[in-house]
């Protein structure tokens, strides 16, 4: 359970970091790469089965 909570916390921190990049830079290419990055990270964190 601790691993899952830590993974969700790390994902939230990643979202915050990428949000700052997207807001401050405001470029389309950065936004697309950020969306792909968050989608893959979210799929890894939230789609992971309990081992």
Q: Which bin fits 42, alpha (ψ -120 to 50), beta or left (φ > 0)? A: alpha
Q: What is the pTM of this model?
A: 0.81
pLDDT tens-digit readout, 1-51: 888 899 999 999 999 999 999 999 989 999 999 999 999 999 998 887 665
Name the one residue in this structure whose structure tokens are 């790469």. 33
pLDDT tens digits for 29-42? Answer: 999 999 999 999 99
Q: If DSSP states are collapsed to H, E and C, what string results for 27-40?
A: CHHHHHHHHHHHHH
Each domain of the chain, given as residue ranges in start order, spans 2-46
Q: What angle do CA 9, 14, 25 make, to 5 degrees?
A: 155
């Amino acid at each position: 359970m601790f691993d899952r909570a830590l993974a969700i916390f790390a994902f939230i921190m990643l979202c915050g970091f990428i949000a700052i990049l997207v807001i401050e830079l405001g470029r389309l290419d950065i936004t697309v790469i950020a969306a792909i990055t968050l989608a893959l990270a979210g799929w890894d964190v939230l789609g992971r089965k309990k081992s």
